[in-house]
Chains A and B, each alone.
Chain A
Amino acid sequence: MSGGRRRAVVAGVATSDYPHLPHLSEHAVHGQAADRALADAGLTLADVDGLATAGFFPMYATGVAEYLGLHPVYLDETNTGGSSFEVLVEHAAYAVEAGAAETVLVTYGSVQLSQMGRRLGTGGGGGGFAPGPAIHDALWGNTLVGNYALAARRHMHEYGTTPEQLAAVAVTMRQHAATNPQAQERDPITVEDVVSSRLVADPLHKLDCCVISDGGAACVVTTAERAADLRRDPVYVLGAAHATTHHMNLSAMPDLTVTPAAQSGPLAFARAGITPDDVDVAQLYDSFTITVVLTVEDLGFCAKGEGGAFVEDDGLAVGGRLPTNTDGGGLSACHPGMRGMFLIVEAVRQLRGQAGATQVPDARVAVAHGTGGMLSTGATLVLGREVP
């Protein structure tokens, strides 16, 4: 990433089994993903001197280190919600380039589906429990879906985006999921299926919402020098950036149609020395269909307001304007709560030519973009097969 001597690469990636893991603890999901990512790289836990992960308790990374029997000298548990893992890989890249660590294991694990089941579906909304200022938006029975619905409604009002355009995102993700044997939902759906599915929070229907899964994923960040002796061709961390506009109060988001991707995207692309035109394949956080429409605009793949038209007519399919979420995404494949790590795994697989039926021919530059909270945070990671 930097112009320095050491250059950060992703040397190994893996997902755990998913989407339903009632027999595994949350930490065991970390372990399964970690073992597989290290094996993919040709490494073992003994090679790891850094650990990065995010969860919902303080000292979370310390706990995962203990469970894995690691005594790392580099720890990071920055939590920006669903975008955490793009941030953690960004930080890990800086760390290995600075020499603060040689090999950083980045892991994610969740058993959200088994632990809480479908009742989490709308993100609670009882209110009264929010810490500090977050109470202000927590008194109204709003739900997680409701927050994204407010953004969708505003985008429709300002730009004429239609429910059918939003639905097109879900339809394409399902097409991709049909080729992923692990995907939670694989049966083909149509735009009509989406817009006639139950409204959860107008204008978002059930099929505009991600699935709820168990699952985990991991990657190994090290230097190009170290990776030269390893099992896989390295994938370079070309550039990264993250941004935030608000915490849990959507009322504090300046413009509901502009996400933090509008800051993180241009910064990450500039740091990588690329433009949106150079991107061959994208893995974009798809908590809800509107999340993808906002993200393609904010990352500069189309102009603000044109996201609806951009995603229509197989715009996000392989062979389309921007092949996106080639594993089926959170909308169909797997969404265990903070999906960001899965985006990185699929981006790396695309750059290695390992993406199977949804492989983008000769993919050289991939973007993974995570979105966290209530459109609160965005983190963009630009990965490449070679240094441009």
Chain B
Amino acid sequence: MQSGDTFPRLLLGHASARGEKPAMREKALGIWQTWSWARVAEQALTVAAGLAALGLKRGAHVAIIGDNRPTLYSAMMAVQALGAIPVPLYQDAVANEMAYVFRDAEIAFAIVEDQEQVDKVLELKLQCPMIAHIVYDDPRGLRHYTQTELTSFEQLLASGRAFGEKNPGHVKSEIDAQRADETAAMFYTSGTTGNPKGVVHTHASLIDRARVAVAFDKLTDAEDILAYLPPAWIGQNIFSYSMMLVAGFCVCCPESGATVTTDLKEIGPTYYFAPPRVFEGLLTQVSIRMEDASAIKRNMFHYFMGVAKRVGVPLLEGKSVGLADRLAYAAGNFLVYGPLKNNLGMSRVKCAYTAGEAIGPDLFDFYRSMGINLKQLYGSTETAVFVCMQPDGQVKSDTVGTPVSGVEIKFTEQGELLVKSPGLLREYYKNPTATAEVKTNDGFYRTGDAGFLDADGHLKIIDRAKDVGAMADGTLFAPKYIENKLKFFPYIKEAVVFGNARDKACAFINIDMQAVGNWAERKGLIYTGYVDLGSKDEVYGLIRECVEKVNADLAADAKLANSQIHRYLVLHKELDADDGELTRTSKVRRGFIGEKYQVLVDAFYSGKAVEHIETQVKFEDGRTGMVSADLRLAEAKTFSAAGAVKAA
């Protein structure tokens, strides 16, 4: 047994080394309440004793469902302390989506946040009778529930204390008995196809990757981070749970999903992670607010953002910049960047990361030019995130950095990336076939991503290997690459591009309601809602400009010139995870969408100008309704590879 080689031992280490320092913060009644390491550890051990009293045994799986909350984090620690395995689930998944996981992992214990989750698990019990205990944190609305499975956190703590008095040393001996190569947690991959798979990670794999990431950016126990993404996603879990336990820094939990922006401003995190869509959302908000600001403010903003665009990035990277530019930048920092960063809650950020999707060059540079050290990384659930990271001073918008310590990478002949690292999954739970499919005999993991190393040794990812297809004439078709280019425009929220084995590429577009709505307002366009706005001629014109710019871009690259978008349409509904069109991590499920809207895809290639469509939609409360519309299919200009205009 070594100290600090499992999560419970790390926790005990922090409780004795920095017991009074903040481990977590949570807002209660409008005021940030701090949990010290000593309190977190004390609570985790008591909860562990309470769970032991309820009969939780080594190796059992425990579902953890809810937002980032100190109680739920302490529950994860408690489960691990007993040698049981926490399985965090997406808190916004509906009961049916959870059913598979509950059955697959044979879950008898669920620790959940509130009434909403209790209702779901109680509903699940009809299909999964092995559910025996549901522990809930927030008692609101649960007063009249009489089900015997229910235990409140208060009751659990009380029975934990009682159990601890009768069996002192039980939890401690469970902690001592653990080995680093035992399973620490299981994460279900959202899966773009088929059933989700349980990715099994050991203490060793998660802790090793967290250590590498902490060392890479020289993080200390003085960092503050805000945990606001679903804890079921390994990214949030490793940033706020594994790395917190490795580095001993403080994790702050926002009051609710709707208050994240305010909480971010109040906390001012020093280390920050967000997927590109969050950065995009922030920039959209800033742009809209600036368009509505007074002329003086607007001009000032545009002038200084111009300065930042020119010299901000070189300054951040420590390159030499002329005196006049330095002065202009300093003035801009005082008048614009400083206040703006403060408003975004990023004035204290040492380094920020984005990953998961490609990020637009303009978007990326916007943040970097203001002096925010935004970088990219590459990884997945199966690799415990950290495979490649961008070192300071070597940051590019279209690569994801160099392999980090411990990682070895290579490519197959088809361009698929293979990774070997101490952070690899042990296996897919109860699924040796799937495990064998992704793990090679020499210990590499098949990422399923297609990419290559650029001249500086930086990894560049173009698409999922299986999605990279070919047009009818055999030229490369990389749909995600094109969709990302479309999504870089603030007016386009989602795009789905079709064209595999076809002679032309076509696209479905989802407009961004906020950005297009504001644009329409300034134009004096009247509209009633999404469907109405999306079908306006003016909006089609706006989207057409975006599509044509992408086409011009594609035309510049000989390999991709053939996959320019010939026809497009604005969809009548927003793609939604509840309707199965997006994964829970907001990635488009192209195949599913292609089948669901087959009539529209056919209409593209049969040359129809209008097509009627009726679609079932699912509301958040589980009811369904129908949306129907007559959609217009519009043409876009394409360019010859040399750049000259060609008729559509």
Do these two chains interact?
Answer: no
- Residues of B bordering A, CB below 8 Å: none
